[in-house]
Amino acid sequence: MAAKGKIDYAQAGGLVACIIIIVVLWDTWAVYPLRLLVVFFHELSHGITAVITGGSIVEIQMNAQEGGLCITRGGNRFLTLSAGYLGSLLWGGAILLFATRTKGSQIVLELLGGLLIVVTLIWVRPLIGFGVGFGLATGLVLIALANFLRPMITELILIVIGLTSCLYAVLDIKSDILDRPQAVSDAVLLADATGVPAMVWGVLWLGVSIVLAVRFILIASRHDIVAQSSATSAPAP
């Protein structure tokens, strides 16, 4: 029977090392494709929330400058607007936990690639544009990696994707809302819809994102302890 695990400091150290490397390389081409992938998660989160709350996705757009747009119809506007930053954080946390808490990294990576391809074909527009090219190419690359690399490597790839998504959610909120309060952002649109200042939404989302990101990393750093059964077996006759 598995009990709640303690922190595996070797695992925690490895995750911290990954975070440091990602931050150091943040503004380089090494991390650029990962940042685009997180933008994809961000826009998809808007769309999924619209669908869950009774609406639909019209189309998703992306550009090479890490900009994105999800056009939806219907659904709960408050939840849909709130889902971008927090959604990309949840994507990152889920991917990180799948990588560190399960043995199915190859399957998860392949499913992630398939998801990118399906979403791209159905919703990303224009058909001849950057977003479609990125979605299809990235999906095919992830599927290929899942089939040709060892589980240890696919696990590391998922960890890097998950950590980048968690980091991007926090840094993107700070950049879009706190550093550039006049820029058009989800918080500004939500402020228009609710009357609550964008800065308030930004601080709230930032606080939630930091807490959740730290929580995901701590859970990913644990190892399970197998509890001993207290029952004793009767002696064999």
Judge whether 108 lies within some domain: no
Q: Which domain holds residue 98?
A: 2-102+163-223
E strands present in the chain? 2-7, 56-62, 68-73, 222-226
Judge whether 141 lies within some domain: no
- pLDDT, position 226: 41
Q: Of 48, 54, 47, which is closest to residue 72 (Cα–Cα)?
A: 47
Amino acid at 212: L
Number of folded domains that form the chain:
1
**pLDDT tens for each residue of 201-210:** 888 988 999 9
What token pair was written down for 106? 């190859």
Our separate counts of H helices and E strands in the chain read 8, 4
The pTM score is: 0.89
Judge whether 32 lies within some domain: yes
Average pLDDT over residues 12-22: 94
Q: CA-to-CA distance for 107 and 115, rounded, in angstroms?
A: 12
What token pair was written down for 159? 């960890």
Q: CA-to-CA distance for 81 and 46, rounded, in angstroms?
A: 6
pLDDT at 2 over 90: no
Judge whether 229 lies within some domain: no
**pLDDT tens for each residue of 83-130:** 998 999 999 999 999 999 988 999 999 999 999 999 999 999 999 999
**What is the 8-class DSSP label of residue 210?**
H
